[in-house]
Amino acid sequence: MKNHRSPQEVNAGSMADIAFLLLIFFLVTTSIENDTGLNRSLPPDVSDNIVDIKEKNLFEISINNADKIMAEDDIVDSKNLRDKVIAFIDNGGISNGNEAFCAHCKGNRLANSSENPDKAIISIKTQRNSSYPVYVSVQNEVIGAYNFLRNRESLRLFNTTYETIYSDYYNDEISEDQKKILKERLEVIRALYPQKILEPETVNN
């Protein structure tokens, strides 16, 4: 009698409940972490930071308490900001023959805009009631402008984008020798378009 009975099936119905319990536990104790952002370096805390900057080499962006963005005495839309910054950095206004002449610049070479990318300085001013997302947008557009120019030069010189070089450099799977080459390339491009972003202290008026 016993031998003829087929083996009894194990009831797996509660398995789903157990898995659900585990799932809910993980949903509660973990969070999806966000780990991207805009990297910036603050200037060191020294008081003797009076530098002589020619007015034409300074691109002033201000955000007022009503979140309006002003660049070079004009109210601008955040969409046009990047193009304006690119035009300013890439202007290369100094005349050919001068030692500071910018050969790789493709700008309009206007006399009243920046002399060369090394001298071009972007200043971002905010007021206490400007909102943070607008400030982040402005930072993003300025960094975007630099990235655009760096990508252009990187494509011209090394046939890859700046972003690929940068991400390869921080990739752990790449050998030390290759990293050396990548580092040199990064430095060449950074020297062509150094990021110079000023953030003066907030003025209350």
Which listed range, 34-42, 86-94, 111-119, 186-194, lies at the site for other proteins (CB under 8 A)? 34-42
Separation of CA 69 from chain center: 19
Q: List Cβ neighbours of 129 (8 Å cut-off, separation of 6 or more).
A: 65
User: How far apart are CB 37 and other proteins at their closest, in Å?
Assistant: 4
CA torsion sign for 81, 58, 162, 95 is positive
Bridge partners of 98, per DSSP, are 96
Q: Which is nearer to other proteins, 55 or 77 (CB)?
A: 77
Under rule CB under 8 A, residue 7 binds other proteins: no
Which span (9-17, 51-59, 98-106, 152-160) binds other proteins, by CB under 8 A? Answer: 9-17
Per CB under 8 A, does 22 bind other proteins?
yes
Please list, in sequence order, all residues whose beta carbon lies within 8 angstroms of the beta carbon of residue 13, skipping any fewer than 6 positions away.
none
Q: Nearest CA to 186 among 168, 172, 204?
A: 168
Task: For other proteins, give the closer residue by CB, 54 or 190.
Answer: 190
**Which residues of this protein are in contact with other proteins, per CB under 8 A?**
12-13, 15-16, 18-20, 22-23, 26-27, 29-45, 63, 67, 78-79, 126-137, 139-141, 143-144, 147, 166, 170, 199, 201-202
